[in-house]
Amino acid sequence: MYPEYMVAPIREDLTSAGFEQLMSPEEVEQAIKSEGTVLVAVNSVCGCAAAKARPALKMAVAAADKKPAKLVTVFAGMEQDAVAKAREHMLPYPPSSPSIALFKDGELVHMIERYHIEGNELNRIVDNLQGAFEEYC
């Protein structure tokens, strides 16, 4: 686990954009199983989260006509039980951070893994997210 003072500004990067920080498995379960669409961001201290994942999430949500009903995040390397619960719902995809998952009525409908983030251009990630929003939200 990382010191909280180190991750606080990284958490705030998403929470200030409207994402709810989930801290427990129960919060994750409740959010994912809720009716409608839920975007789950597995946040991370890594460079591709800072340079691509978080900016793409914020840009996609800000510019989309159709958006998920809920925006939530868990932090890899911190609340391990909450992250593990989120990843259970992301199966069969392997654990990946950062990663982004879209759920509709509790079912995984779209997944962006780390390799889709770190090896891609920012605008392509934004387009990918907005395409999923258009299709499922």
Q: Domain spans of the chain?
A: 4-136
pLDDT of residue 1: 81
Residues in the chain with pLDDT values less than 50: none
The single residue listed with the structure tokens 């509790």 is 106
Helices (H), the chain: 4-15, 25-32, 47-48, 54-63, 80-89, 114-118, 122-136
pLDDT of residue 119: 85
Six-digit token string for 108: 């995984």
Distance from C-alpha of 46 to C-alpha of 59, rounded to nearest angstrom: 19
59-98 pLDDT, tens per residue?
A: 999 999 999 999 999 999 999 999 999 999 999 999 999 9
pLDDT of residue 22: 98
Please give the class, per CATH, of domain 4-136. alpha beta
User: Of 121, 76, 114, 72, which is closest to residue 93 (Cα–Cα)?
Assistant: 114
Query: Which sequence positions are flagged as catalytic?
Result: 46, 48
